[in-house]
Amino acid sequence: MTNNSIFDWHKFHVVGCRLYESGSEENLRTAINRFYYGSFCQARDYLIHNNIFYDEDLKNDLCSGKGVVHEATRLIFLKEKRLINHRQGKKIHDWLVDLRDYRNRVDYNSSTDFNLEFMTRQSKIYSEKIFNTLENL
pLDDT digits (tens, 9 = 90+) for 60-72: 888 887 888 999 9
d(CA 98, CA 67): 17
Please indicate, yes or no, if residue 1 is contained in any of the structural domains.
no
Task: Give residue 1's pLDDT.
Answer: 45
In a domain, 59, yes or no: yes
82 inside domain: yes
- 123 within a domain of the structure (yes/no): yes
Q: Indicate the average pLDDT of the chain.
A: 91
Q: What is the mean pLDDT of residues 48-58?
A: 85
Q: 4 in a domain, yes or no? A: no
- Domain assignment present for residue 45? The answer is yes
CB-CB contact of 39 with 96 (8 Å): yes
Domains in the chain: how many in total? 1
The average pLDDT across 10-17 equals: 98
Q: For the beta carbon of residue 88, count every other beta carbon within 10 angstroms.
A: 18
pTM: 0.90
Half-sphere exposure of 1 (CA within 13 A, CB side): 5
119 CA to centre of own chain: 14
Q: Average pLDDT in the 29-48 region?
A: 96
Nearest to 134 by CA among 80, 98, 86: 86
Q: Can you give the residue range of the structural domain that contains 119?
A: 10-136
